[in-house]
Amino acid sequence: MPIATVNPANGETLKTYEPMGEEEVERRLQLAQATFRTYRTTVFADRARWLSKAADLLDEDRQEIGRVMTVEMGKPIKQSRAEAAKCAKAMRWYAERAERLLADEEPAETDVRDSGASRVRVRYRPLGPVLAVMPWNFPLWQVVRFAAPALMAGNVGLLKHASSVPQTALYLEDLFHRAGFAEGCFQTLLVGSAAVDGILRDERVMAATLTGSEPAGRAVATTAGEMIKKTVLELGGSDPYIVMPSADLDRAAEVAVTARVQNTGQSCIAAKRFIVHTDVHDAFAERFVEGMEALKVGDPLQEDTEVGPLASEQGRTDLEELVDDAKRSGAEVLCGGARPDGPGWYYPPTVLTGVTRQMRVHREEAFGPVATLYRAGDLDEALLIANDTPFGLSSNVWTRDTDEVERFAEDLEAGAVYVNGMTASHPAFPFGGVKRSGYGRELSGHGIREFCNITTVWQGA
Which residue numbers are catalytic? 234, 268
CB 362 within 8 A of CB 325: no
Backbone torsions φ then ψ of 168, nearest 5 degrees: -65, -40
Q: List the one residue out of 236, 368, 354, 362 whose CA is nearest residue 310.
A: 368
| Cα–Cα separations (whole angstroms), residue 368 to 242, 267, 391, 449 | 20, 8, 17, 33
CB 300 within 8 A of CB 346: no
* SS3 readout for the chain: CCEEEEECCCCEEEEEECCCCHHHHHHHHHHHHHHHHHHCCCCHHHHHHHHHHHHHHHHHCHHHHHHHHHHHHCCCHHHHHHHHHHHHHHHHHHHHHHHHHCCCECCCHHHHHHCCEEEEEEEEEECCEEEEECCCCCCCHHHHHHHHHHHHCCCEEEEECCCCCHHHHHHHHHHHHHCCCCCCCEEECCCCHHHHHHHHHCCCCCEEEEECCHHHHHHHHHHHHHHCCEEEEECCCCEEEEECCCCCHHHHHHHHHHHHHHHHHCCCCCEEEEEEECCCHHHHHHHHHHHHHCCCECCCCCCCCCECCCCCHHHHHHHHHHHHHHHHCCCEEEECCCCCCCCCCCCCCEEEECCCCCCHHHHCCCCCCEEEEEEECCHHHHHHHHHCCCCCCCCEEECCCHHHHHHHHHHCCCCCCEECCCCCCCCCCCECCCHHHEECCECHHHHHHCCEEEEEEEEEC
